Structure 1
Amino acid sequence: MNYESAVLIGDALWRSLRRPIVPLLWALAVAAVLVSGTALFFIPTAPGTVGGAPESYLLAQLALAPSESAISRLGSEIWTWPGVDGVTFRFPGESDPIAITERTLVVRLLSREARATVESRLRALPEVEGVRYHERPSARTRVPPASRVAALVALVGTLALALWLGHRSVTRAAALWGKELALLRSCGVSPALMRAPFFTLGAVVGLVGGGLYIVVCWAVWTWWRSLPYLRDVVPSFPYVWPSLVMVALAIGVGLGLMGALIATLAPSPRS
């Protein structure tokens, strides 16, 4: 990017962000899209019934040597194994699914039949000192079946809102920068260069929206992960945190660029 392009983009961004309400609402809508999509992905498709198949767990007691980063990597690896439904880390003193006395990886199985295969692989790991098996009655009735429908409706609604706010924010920015756009057009500046400030605005808003989503995820994991209703919905964020951050920021930027693209292809009469 040359100096002239940087000046144009910086001036357009400054004028847009001097009136921050619409861009902020746009960023909040992007974050809402990501939250709705996450809920739709993680809400169980089959919430289960009272008296259904029990939940099966393998509790792997860890040696003292592994660091937290090593435990996170180990949990991520185990989660990819066939027959594994989820992996969480528990400190001594915690009580889910049973009282924990040592640092433990709690491996939830997809079915009781997966126990032998997964247990043999766990016992072969040098970081694991012992493995216990535990069953408890299914708790998946905590998540109402209508939750997925609500999450889908929320996803569609917030996506439409994000695109509409993107269109509104970019067209307003174009109106504020109208004289400069007319001057650049008369000087023969390429349409791509004239659109660059608005795509940059979309990317910045998308990054902010992705960052807000990450804050929401961390808040849910930190303060509300023990609530019974959320226990089957909230994933083990520490084990997927790096991927979650990268994917959230990438999707946020994509949504921001999509809103800017719609506005530049179909501008309002004011622009």
Structure 2
Amino acid sequence: MDVNISFANGGIGAAANESGVGFLTVSRPEKRNALTDAMWRSVPDAINWLVVEQHVRVVILSGAGGRDFSAGADIGEFATLRKDATTARDYEAGNSAAFAAVRNCPVPVIASVRGICFGGGFGLAAAADLRLADHTARFAIPAARLGLAYPLDAVQDLVRALGDQEARRALYSTAELSAAQALACGCLLKLSEPDELDSDALALAASIAGAAPLSVRASKAAIAAVQSNHEEDYKRAAGLAASTFDSADYAEGRRAFMEKRKPAFNGR
């Protein structure tokens, strides 16, 4: 990796390599990567640093320590930061900003999941574009065991990721989903062996980073428009699609095809 930075006293790490792949890491392995309020609120800044300052073409989201993705929000903070409806609204604004930063990231986000992926950790993974996991992965939404409600925007991501019935079961019963169950319901793109997960995620990221960046961004916007069915999203997606035809990358793609070589896209 060429450059890296940390946020929230090291709780969120961001790095970028020379191939245009960004890495966003939840880094609190001693607490199974549970996120503090400061960590939640730093996720948008970390993604902005990767996309705007480092110009990455894809982001891999994972948990540090090689054991767990994330146990979700740090419950130890709830007695003060999430003790009633008023404080919960402020606390969950940080959650929602983090979910939105992943969901609306201009470039694709790949969640690479091993071990525990619970609560808000599952919310971050559900907000990603693509999800890979190894056989140790476990998914759950324990909100109903704590007596609280899961944020609405995160529920929308869960329904998209799990499908209607599995999302209902996860939220109503708090039952865990195994990696195999998550794969079966379409939540995961692929199930990897534990020692192959990192390389599989990196290979997928490299294939995306090698594609025309403007085309990929237009495709992500189009998928978002189909899912939201909002007129403004359709207009934005149409504008991004139209702009590709005036890009240098489109000219490069045509030349490379005719010359039977690999194109060198620069995102312009």
Bucket of the pairwise TM-score, normalised by the shorter protein:
under 0.3
Tell me the TM-score normalised to structure 1 length: 0.22
Tell me the TM-score normalised to structure 2 length: 0.23
Task: Report 1 or 2 for greater relative contact order, CA contacts < 8 Å, sequence distance ≥ 6.
Answer: 1
Point out the structure with max Rg over C-alpha. Answer: 1
Bigger strand share: 2
